[in-house]
Amino acid sequence: MFWLELAQEVIKSAAAPIVAVAAIFALWTWRRELRGRAEQQAARRILIASKKIAEGIGDARDAFTSAAELAARKSLPGEPFEEHLILDEEYARRMRRKQLRDDYYSLWEGGIEAEVFWGRHARENVEALQRCAMDLSASHNRYFGGKMAYLRDHKGLENFTSTEIYREHHDIVYSLEGDEAFGDRVDDALEAIERYFRRYLR
């Protein structure tokens, strides 16, 4: 009887560390799975937001502006005809970028998550596309502001296409066939995001 009780005590003593190790391993596995799911969800949000931004930039830059878009702005009484044309075009393109602003903040939040999970390099991948959206917004304001100022200063738009404002910003505001440096930059930024974050969709 004594030896049986002793054997039971030995077995219990040996089992306790095994149970503890098993519990620690189970906790570690659970935490790893939980982090994996969180990473997967963050990567998915980043990929969706980045795709929306790239498509939104493409839509905003489409060179064709419909008559319905141009007619959406309420004109002011006595508005000079050429100013009216510029303001209608500016308004139409600003409205195209309205959804783009919301998607930009979604990607900005995704960039913060990316840095928390994967470090600064991950966020830098996101920021390249964010800069494209910011540059489009800045060029929009400078192009149309400059065009309006030129019209008022020169009483017309003759030779506007030779100005620095036109050269620097027209090809960002409007997409062009053939030479599409800004469009290529957007495509490269989106490709880098997809290449980096798709690995976490497992």
How does the average pLDDT of the chain come out, rounded?
Answer: 85
pLDDT over 60 at 45, yes or no: yes
pLDDT over 50 at 164, yes or no: yes
pTM (2 d.p.): 0.80
pLDDT confidence of residue 202: 73
Which among 146, 144, 137, 133 is positioned nearest to 185, based on CA atoms?
A: 133
For residue 118, the one-letter residue type is W
pLDDT confidence of residue 27: 45
**Over residues 157-169, mean pLDDT:** 92
pLDDT over 80 at 17, yes or no: no
pLDDT over 50 at 28, yes or no: no
pLDDT over 70 at 39, yes or no: yes
**Over residues 133-153, mean pLDDT:** 95
Sign of the C-alpha dihedral computed for residues 139, 140, 142 and 147 taken in this order: positive
Model confidence pLDDT, tens digit, residues 62-105: 999 999 999 999 998 999 999 999 999 999 999 999 888 888 98
User: CB of 147 within 8 A of CB of 165?
Assistant: yes
Alpha helices in 62-76 (DSSP H): 67-70
What span, in angstroms and rounded, lies between the C-alpha atoms of 145 and 148? Answer: 5
Percentage, residues of the chain above pLDDT 90: 68
Q: Where are the domains of the chain?
A: 2-200
pLDDT confidence of residue 20: 45
